[in-house]
């Protein structure tokens, strides 16, 4: 690298590249296509562009990042960054300059562009029987004749009215009790967990309690914020798993633990920090939005620092819940075995070593405070049980949401995330397995991969003759063809666009069956990257983007997608062979990817073995749905423990011909004889739809 | 006060007085008879004399103490006091000088003079059935055929071998599991709490676990450090309740909470700090003592700072347990209701207000970590249940130790502490009550009151003719009569000496029946204190002491003892009336006081109503014994909950003629017609024994 340049990586987007030394972090972010919030236009007065410099040697990127590689602390920063945050490496992006290689984490609140929820909750049926229920009691005050203590006084009433016996409570709840009873004039509402433990006491009559079901993916974390009384999903919050900076897949994270002192604790702390952020986001959504305060002349009112004063701007007729952290009284968590272990700070080493035993299968009830999660202090976090190998609590979530163990039909359930998890069978027998797909199908780790957010290319068509590209981005209805280039503001490619791109590249003859860029290709869109010498194809020209550089798909990107689909296809094939079947009655695709995927293109591109097209269903984030089912129905928790021990786990990598199947499955597309259901359809027609 | 003098109070001894401004804290301690450790003779090199300046307005003493009232920080202090301790107010006693009024806390480790255990454990019968038991298992390692997780693998074995089912474990223990299994080559010892929860995993076979039963008194805290396997009491550790600085009795502490922001938290934090210190003391006792290292020429080896290098000096043939905090796996706690509430940071306000309802009666199982107590992180603290009013978990301890509910005989059990607690009855009916005795009978709050430590006067005789005093101190067998004055090294009067002093003062005609110093008294030992103008009587001349001042008993001291004994006697009388009885079959005296008291003198001085002398028993620290019983036998925990709800609590202060009884009971001695059992004994003879 030239001496006057430095390698800069932005997390969680993973965007990286060289920038000239001396540019500000904001300038660097713009050069690399990362949007950082900057309300004041870098006048150093809004304090929105706070980012964190990560310290460490990031082998994956061959980058050593530390505080010496940025300019010295500036006085302006004191105003926005306190001593504690400063110690953690936080800096103001508009005043800090790049002096060497850096890995920079952009906190969610500093990221520009409102996120489009990609893991929305589905409308699945759940019986209402939450683990946390509310009970209202009125008691008579103590007298000399009847001076019984506060706890026994309410317990007597809880037993009389509701039949609740032998209730416990922890010291935090006990501390609330005397004042709540007196503030409520001897009338209180008690939140009771599993009819076993009082976890909260509030004065008077209260009718609602809230909980969050959280699916901790390797790349994406999705939280469903629910009213435990009405079962309504109030909102959905997603974030990148903050552990992404330590490695993109589960094995990389396990390796980070094994090679780095305190590595496990760092990863655990990071995801816990992420969950706390998620909780805060859930709560913030229950307050009215804010707007700038204006005086009678319509002029913006400013505070002594020249900043606009913000006031609440409630929508007319809308009521706001205005909740606090303490109002979150239950959390359920799912994730693959590695995410499960790392989150809980459990040694994940042996999960990564044959025969891959987890530390625990059974579900766990852990006080949120023992994990450092800041909700109602006496509340529990329910952690779904693990199956085996990497097939963990997330797949158990999928299973209790889809309940194939109650079905006659033979179902193949594919949960596509960074780790692909497969379940095959019906009420007679279920087997499960996992395969390393990597995050490519989610759009991550591609040169211009990004989350499903405004500016993400989600649909694409390539003219086979001219190789002209037409596409559509999230946040804009009109395709490029009907737009001015500058209106597109493209930024990257999201998961749902990936298969489209691959199919179109192939149909247009730009890539061959083996996935290589065609040698004969003549197009100004096709070129070799001057830095890497990698072939790449331009999907959007710089002028169509908001990042002032061409959005491309590289040879490496194509390979990543091939690897992912090959692993999936081979896994399905081997499981079918294990069960002695050659067809399924139903294929269910779970995960964010499944929500957006064009099922015909998925079949044609060979993501999984043949199935009637109308029997291919997208079931959305079923892992998250399972977490939600466990949140709202405590019987689903028992069901989860039952199913986790009654699915037979198959370790695919030890099957003799896994490698052969895998290599074959990487080709695009598969031989038509593998897809009899497509016989009546002309492949090329589908590809050109 | 003169301008060049300052009021200095030392805690926990309570010694106070004026000292000239400018003296060092060590000099001040010497002037006031407080012994602070100083190995180097104030050469500023040993760092042993560290004390803490308490900040606040101590109304009881009318003293405002803060860091401004001492000299500035000296460079020498940096070596012994780190930043954190400095922030907490710690200073080096030999370099810091008095500049204004001060309340100084002397940490146990800075107190000179080894303590004599005053609350030794009694040899009571306890069936061995501890709440924490150990189970050893060997499992086969996981294979591809049997890849079950670690937790389920050991649970299967625990059920097979020991019938333990549905075991839980918390996240801390779960984190130990994978490495313990592998380090122990798939053989581990599990500590299981109440046959319900695994609280510790250790590699290989381990046979011992340890616990501490702690009686949290208003003035004194006593911990019995036990081997849970052998039931042996390894040692007993006592300390002053660090809350003493906030007020001497329970009402003063409750008032401190109600009048001081964060007062409850400060008191709770202080006792928790005290319990952690107690744990550390217990552990330290399991290591060999240390001695100065000497070279081959017998010269003391010094380190680079000129300090002697210390090496372990194990006694020959003795083995040492060498335990760590994690080896403490169970704690039981008792205390009166106010101590119970304050320790647990539960609002004690309503315990102090009629009709005195506690927040909870039932026992509590609280994770030690949730209280900030540093032992094995997954272990529980068992807090004994409360009865009613101030009669709390300490009295439940007394009850399960003495089990009057299993007896035919009518027993009166008196637990004498700062708060007197009374139980009367037998297996048919038990009633309990409490009375405010204050700490005088324990020797605290008297002008020269002190703990049972070397130098404490424990027996005394006064010649009725000459008023000459002969006495014996703890730590020396010979009475004054057989000693050189300077050999006595008297320092004060401990609890067991108090009744002797009072009885002798009365028998010698120095005080009258009403407790006033006789007007006719002619003796150079009798005088008025020049500062307070209070009458006082010299028990030991300055030359006989180690504190270079006369040890006296004051008129106020006599009144304190009268108040204490009057409250006790009146309480007993009213309870007997409530039960329609005029005599008891047995009187049991509990508390440290009971251990040393001369039962005849107690009877004669009127501590409690008449009873045959041989039926008066000292049962030592029965509250502590009850805590120990609950530690070593889990069934005693159920028994504690049962008895706490089956003793009828009587609020004495609302009885119509409590005041009248109380006033009468303050007289010394009581009319002989109240003591028919003493008829055969000549009072005066007993008094002069």
Percent of chain B with pLDDT over 90: 47
Query: Lowest-confidence range among B10-14, B86-90, B460-464, B534-538?
Result: B10-14
With cut-offs at 50, 70 and 90, classify the pLDDT of residue B680: very low
pLDDT at B673 over 60: no
Query: What's residue A536's pLDDT?
Result: 93
Percent of chain A with pLDDT over 90: 47
pLDDT at B360 over 90: yes
Q: Give the separation between CA B460 and CA B454, rounded to whole angstroms.
A: 15
Q: Give the separation between CA B502 and CA B505, rounded to whole angstroms.
A: 5
Nearest to A144 among B178, B350, B355 (CB): B355
Average pLDDT, stretch A137-160?
95
User: Which residues have CB under 8 Å from B483's CB, separation 6+?
Assistant: B476
Average pLDDT, stretch A225-236?
93
**For the residues of A462-484, what is the DSSP string, one character each?**
E-TTT--EEEEETT--S-GGGS-
Query: What's residue B117's pLDDT?
Result: 35
The answer to whether A364 contacts B148, with C-beta atoms less than 8 Å apart, is no
Tell me the sheet residues that pair with B16.
B9
Nearest to A174 among B153, B356, B360 (CB): B360
Question: By C-alpha distance, which of B331, B339, B216 is closest to B282?
Answer: B331
Most confident of A3-7, A410-414, A417-421, A472-476: A410-414
* Burial track B566-579 (b if 16+ CB lie within 10 A, e otherwise): bbbbbbbbbbbeeb
- Residues in A lying within 8 Å of B, measured between beta carbons: 142-144, 147-153, 170-172, 174-175, 177-179, 182, 344-347, 349-350, 354-362, 364, 366, 370-371, 386, 388-389, 649, 651, 654
Beta-carbon pairs below 8 A across chains A and B: 124
Distance from CA of B351 to the nearest CA of A (A): 9
The answer to whether A359 contacts B177, with C-beta atoms less than 8 Å apart, is yes
Most confident of A146-150, A379-383, A619-623, B665-669: A379-383
List the structure tokens of B290. Answer: 């240390």
Most confident of A370-379, A508-517, B32-41: A370-379
Most confident of A523-532, B520-529, B597-606, B631-640: B631-640
Nearest to B150 among A171, A182, A360 (CB): A360
pLDDT tens by residue, A373-414: 999 999 999 999 999 888 889 999 999 999 999 999 999 999
pLDDT at B159 over 70: yes
Query: What's residue A669's pLDDT?
Result: 63
A361 contact residues in B (CB cutoff 8 A): 148-149, 151-152
With cut-offs at 50, 70 and 90, classify the pLDDT of residue A116: very low
Average pLDDT, stretch A177-188?
97
pLDDT at A599 over 70: yes
A359 contact residues in B (CB cutoff 8 A): 149-151, 174, 177-178
Residue of B360, B364, B386, B393 to mutate when probing chain A, most A C-beta within 10 A? B360
Q: Sign of torsion, CA B595 B596 B598 B603?
A: negative
Residue of B167, B354, B358, B385 to mutate when probing chain A, most A C-beta within 10 A? B358
Query: What's residue A576's pLDDT?
Result: 92
C-alpha R_g of chain A? 27
Q: Higher pLDDT residue, B408 or A12?
A: B408
pLDDT at B114 over 60: no
Nearest CA in chain A to B348: A178
- Residues in B lying within 8 Å of A, measured between beta carbons: 142-144, 147-153, 170-172, 174-175, 177-179, 182, 344-347, 349-350, 354-362, 364, 366, 370-371, 386, 388-389, 649, 651, 654
The answer to whether B355 contacts A147, with C-beta atoms less than 8 Å apart, is yes
Within A483-604, strands assigned E span 492-493, 526-528, 535-540, 551-554, 586-590
- The distance between the two most distant Cα atoms of chain A, rounded to a whole number of Å, is 99
Nearest CA in chain B to A148: B357
Q: Sign of torsion, CA A531 A532 A534 A536?
A: negative
Distance from CA of B144 to the nearest CA of A (A): 5
Query: What's residue A657's pLDDT?
Result: 81
pLDDT at A522 over 70: yes
Query: Which helix (H) or strand (E) covers residue B227, if one does?
Result: strand B220-227
Given its phi and psi angles, is residue A66 left (phi above 0), alpha (psi -120 to 50 degrees) or beta?
A: beta
A147 contact residues in B (CB cutoff 8 A): 355-357, 388-389, 649
Question: By C-alpha distance, which of B105, B28, B43 is closest to B80?
Answer: B43
Is the Cβ–Cβ distance between A381 and A373 less than 8 Å? Answer: yes
Q: Give the separation between CA B502 and CA A200, rounded to whole angstroms.
A: 54
Q: Beta-carbon neighbour count of residue A563 at 10 Å?
A: 18
In Å, how far from its chain's centre is CA B478? Answer: 28
Nearest to A171 among B177, B366, B386 (CB): B366
Q: Give the separation between CA A552 and CA A492, rounded to whole angstroms.
A: 8
- pTM for the whole structure: 0.79
The answer to whether A171 contacts B360, with C-beta atoms less than 8 Å apart, is no
Distance from CA of B532 to the nearest CA of A (A): 43
Would strands B430-435 and B469-473 be described as parallel, antiparallel, or unpaired?
Answer: unpaired
Query: What's residue B118's pLDDT?
Result: 43
With cut-offs at 50, 70 and 90, classify the pLDDT of residue A680: very low
pLDDT tens by residue, B535-565: 999 999 999 998 888 999 999 889 888 888 8
Nearest to B151 among A143, A144, A362 (CB): A362
Nearest to A178 among B182, B347, B361 (CB): B347
Is the Cβ–Cβ distance between A211 and A381 less than 8 Å? Answer: no
The answer to whether A151 contacts B386, with C-beta atoms less than 8 Å apart, is no
| Residue-averaged pLDDT of chain B | 87
Within A387-515, strands assigned E span 411-415, 420-425, 430-435, 456-462, 469-473, 492-493
B362 contact residues in A (CB cutoff 8 A): 151-152
B366 contact residues in A (CB cutoff 8 A): 170-171
B371 contact residues in A (CB cutoff 8 A): 171
Average pLDDT, stretch A349-378?
95
Most confident of A463-467, A635-639, B42-46: A635-639
pLDDT at B162 over 90: yes
pLDDT tens by residue, B363-406: 999 999 999 999 999 999 999 999 988 888 999 999 999 999 99
Nearest to B142 among A148, A357, A364 (CB): A357
Distance from CA of B644 to the nearest CA of A (A): 11
B150 contact residues in A (CB cutoff 8 A): 350, 357-360
Three-state SS string across B370-390, please? Answer: HHCCCCCCCCEEEECCCCECC
B386 contact residues in A (CB cutoff 8 A): 149
The answer to whether B354 contacts A386, with C-beta atoms less than 8 Å apart, is no
Average pLDDT, stretch A418-446?
83
pLDDT tens by residue, B420-451: 889 999 999 999 998 877 777 766 667 888 77
Q: Give the separation between CA A164 and CA A158, rounded to whole angstroms.
A: 6
Nearest to B357 among A142, A347, A361 (CB): A142
Tell me A376's DSSP state: S
pLDDT tens by residue, B263-276: 999 999 999 999 99
Query: What's residue A424's pLDDT?
Result: 95
Query: What's residue B636's pLDDT?
Result: 97
Burial of B509 (0-12, 13-18, 19+ CB in 10 A): middle
The answer to whether A358 contacts B150, with C-beta atoms less than 8 Å apart, is yes
B360 contact residues in A (CB cutoff 8 A): 149-152, 174, 177
Distance between the two ends of chain B, CA-based, in angstroms? Answer: 45
Average pLDDT, stretch A497-512?
86
The answer to whether A171 contacts B364, with C-beta atoms less than 8 Å apart, is yes
Nearest to B152 among A172, A361, A370 (CB): A361
Nearest to B360 among A150, A179, A371 (CB): A150
């Amino acid at each position: 690298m030239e001496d006057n340049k430095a390698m800069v990586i932005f997390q969680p987007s993973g965007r990286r590249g060289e920038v000239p030394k001396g540019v500000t972090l904001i300038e660097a972010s713009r050069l690399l296509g990362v949007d950082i919030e900057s309300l004041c236009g870098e006048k150093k007065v809004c304090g929105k562009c706070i980012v964190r410099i990560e310290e460490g040697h990031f082998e994956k990127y061959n980058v050593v990042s530390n505080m010496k590689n940025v300019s010295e602390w500036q006085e302006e920063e004191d105003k926005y960054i306190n001593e504690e945050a400063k110690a953690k490496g936080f800096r103001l992006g508009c005043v800090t300059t790049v002096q060497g290689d850096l890995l920079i984490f952009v906190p969610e609140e500093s990221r520009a562009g409102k996120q489009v929820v990609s893991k929305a909750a589905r409308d699945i049926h759940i019986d209402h029987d939450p683990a946390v229920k509310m009970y209202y009691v009125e008691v008579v005050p103590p007298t000399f004749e009847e001076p019984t203590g506060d706890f026994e006084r309410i317990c007597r009433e809880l037993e009389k009215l509701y039949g609740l016996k032998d209730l416990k409570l922890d010291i935090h709840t006990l501390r609330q009790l005397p004042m709540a009873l007196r503030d409520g004039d001897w009338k209180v509402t008690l939140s009771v967990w599993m009819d076993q433990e009082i976890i909260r006491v509030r004065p008077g009559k209260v009718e609602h309690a809230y909980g969050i079901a959280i699916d901790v993916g390797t790349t994406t974390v999705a939280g469903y914020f629910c009213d435990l009384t009405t079962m309504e999903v109030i909102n959905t919050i997603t974030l990148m798993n903050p552990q992404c900076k330590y490695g993109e897949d589960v094995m990389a994270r396990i390796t980070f633990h094994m090679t780095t002192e305190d590595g496990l604790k760092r990863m655990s702390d990071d995801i816990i920090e992420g969950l706390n952020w998620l909780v805060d986001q859930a709560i913030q959504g229950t307050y009215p939005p804010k707007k700038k305060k204006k005086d009678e002349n319509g002029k913006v009112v400013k505070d002594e620092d020249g900043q606009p004063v913000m006031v609440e701007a409630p929508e007319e007729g809308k009521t706001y819940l205005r909740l606090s952290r303490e109002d979150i009284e239950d959390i359920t968590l799912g994730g693959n075995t590695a995410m499960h272990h790392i989150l809980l700070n459990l040694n994940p080493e042996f999960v990564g070593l044959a025969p891959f035993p987890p530390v625990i299968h059974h579900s766990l009830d852990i006080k949120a405070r023992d994990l450092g999660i800041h909700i109602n202090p006496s509340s529990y976090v329910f952690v779904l049980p693990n199956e085996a190998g990497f097939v963990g609590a997330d797949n158990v979530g999928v299973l209790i949401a889809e309940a194939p163990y109650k079905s006659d039909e033979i179902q193949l359930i594919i949960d596509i995330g960074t780790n692909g998890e497969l379940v095959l069978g019906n009420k007679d027998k279920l087997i499960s397995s996992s395969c390393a797909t990597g995050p490519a199908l989610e759009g991550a780790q591609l040169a211009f991969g990004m989350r499903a957010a405004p500016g993400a290319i989600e649909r694409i068509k390539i003219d086979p003759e001219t190789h002209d590209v037409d596409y559509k981005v999230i946040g804009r209805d009109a395709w490029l063809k009907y737009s001015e280039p500058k209106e597109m503001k493209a930024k990257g490619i999201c998961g749902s666009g990936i298969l489209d791109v691959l199919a179109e590249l192939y149909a247009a003859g730009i890539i061959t069956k083996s996935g290589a860029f065609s040698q004969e290709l003549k197009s100004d869109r096709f070129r070799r990257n001057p830095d890497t010498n990698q072939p790449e194809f331009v999907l959007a020209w710089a002028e169509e983007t908001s990042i002032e550089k061409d959005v491309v798909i590289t040879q490496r990107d194509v390979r990543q997608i091939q690897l992912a689909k090959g692993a999936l296809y081979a896994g399905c094939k081997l499981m079918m062979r294990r069960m002695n079947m050659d067809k399924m009655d139903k294929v269910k695709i779970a995960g964010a990817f499944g929500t957006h995927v064009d099922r015909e293109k998925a079949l044609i591109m060979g993501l999984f073995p043949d199935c009637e097209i109308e029997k291919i269903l997208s079931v959305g984030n079923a892992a998250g749905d399972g977490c939600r089912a466990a949140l709202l129905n405590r019987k689903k928790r028992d069901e989860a423990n039952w199913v986790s021990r009654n699915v037979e786990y198959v370790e695919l990598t030890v099957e003799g011909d896994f490698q052969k199947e895998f290599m074959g499955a990487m080709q695009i597309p598969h031989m038509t004889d593998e897809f009899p259901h497509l016989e009546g359809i002309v492949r090329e027609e589908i590809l050109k739809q």
